[in-house]
Amino acid sequence: KAGVTQTPRYLIKTRGQQVTLSCSPISGHRSVSWYQQTPGQGLQFLFEYFSETQRNKGNFPGRFSGRQFSNSRSEMNVSTLELGDSALYLCASSFDRATGDEQYFGPGTRLTVT
Amino acid sequence: GENVEQHPSTLSVQEGDSAVIKCTYSDSASNYFPWYKQELGKRPQLIIDIRSNVGEKKDQRIAVTLNKTAKHFSLHITETQPEDSAVYFCAAVRTGTASKLTFGTGTRLQVTL
């Protein structure tokens, strides 16, 4: 069974630009969650999608948005990038995170904002 | 919102010794507590989890204990080995449609020879 994949793996953007990250979950998984990992703030929950609907959202500004497609693939978009958005963005998939199913993480996308 | 405190932030033990990492949570509705191991440059991986109806769970050298009354849970690693060196994250989860997951700040474990 293929694992969770994320593209691109590395990205360099300039302040003010926008970026779209992609996550392909494990086949059969309907829940995709996104996390931001930084040395200072650790792992922080961004949002979760289940069956194409955003089910839960963390405490991030509206510049962070996402969506999920019918095949459960998910994208995350960050608009008007700021230097502080530099981080490793991880997605994780599970059958249904709301029931406490095990989450499987992708390798992450490392975003650098200059 | 939920707050999860994790201690210590760094831990150095000699090979063969035990390591204990502790977490406390604030949301009494949290009912699922996973632990993740993240090796340098790699993705987090679930190593053990416990649900609120259980007080202790063990898997070979790894065990987790949960005290719901005190709202704290701990990870115990016995007979540590160099390959246990990694960052460990605890998390507290309130399951359900309004599911919330909050991670602890992480513990960097270094197992020395």
Q: Which residues of A touch B97 (CB under 8 A)?
A: 55, 98
CB contact at 8 A, B4 and B67? no
Please say if the pLDDT value at position A2 is more than 90. Answer: no
Mean pLDDT in chain B?
A: 94
Return the SS3 of B53: coil
Residue-by-residue DSSP string for A21-60:
EEEEPPTT--EEEEEEEETTTEEEEEEEEETTEEEEE-S-
* pLDDT confidence tier of residue A1, bands split at 50, 70 and 90: low
pLDDT value at residue B96: 83
CA pair distance B14, B113, nearest whole angstrom: 6
A102 touches chain B (CB under 8 A): yes
Report the relative pairing of strands B45-51 and B86-94 from DSSP bridges: unpaired
Amino acid letter, residue A83: L
Contact A105 B43 (CB under 8 A): yes
